[in-house]
Amino acid sequence: MGQSSAQQYKEGSSALFYRVLVLIIIAIFFALFGTKVFNLLESVATVNNEKSVAEFKQSINAIRSKWLTEKRELVELSLSDTPDLKAKGILRFFVNQQGYPLGLNKEQLNCKALWINMQSQPWQKVHKVKVELNSQGEPTSCRYYGIEREMFSYDSSSGKVNLVN
């Protein structure tokens, strides 16, 4: 009629064993899945940073080529919408003697203004901008940092944009 305590213990321990086994399998699944998702998110961030650097370089080249045709210290670029290519406005950049952009004001290199006005993705944020000075104390280059590390640097005297890996 009633089960002995040894049989109840045997049935209870096998049920516990299967529960623990299922929990271990679920934990392994989440660990594998979590690393895949983390790697995917990391690669998306890398691609976004590379795209931002490419846009920055493209803007530098567009400003310089416009300067080469006009040789003025103020270069105007038309803003256009990608789908219909209608002009949305004009951006004005001051350039140095070599034709590389300094920013929106004439006095000196403005790294933050360059970043903001050379990006098509307003949500792409740079978390820190470091301005480097030459021996005379004048700003000559910018270093742009993402969340964890430096993304790229821009040298206004040579126009070089260097991606940091």
> Using CA of residue 17, residue 23, residue 25, residue 31, what is the dihedral sign?
negative
Over 90: is that where the pLDDT of 31 sits? no
* pLDDT value for 93: 87
Over 90: is that where the pLDDT of 24 sits? yes
The answer to whether the pTM exceeds 0.85 is: no
Q: Is 77 exposed, middle or buried (0-12, 13-18, 19+ CB in 10 A)?
A: middle
DSSP class of residue 2 equals P
Q: Which two tokens stand for residue 70?
A: 């006009």
* Separation CA 145–CA 126 (nearest Å): 6
Across the chain, which distance is largest between two alpha carbons, in Å? 104
pLDDT tens string 32-75 = 888 888 888 788 877 877 888 888 888 899 899 999 998 888 88
DSSP class of residue 24 equals H
* pLDDT value for 84: 57
pLDDT tens string 103-147 = 877 767 888 888 888 776 655 677 788 888 888 888 888 998 887
Q: Are 115 and 126 in contact (CB under 8 A)?
A: yes
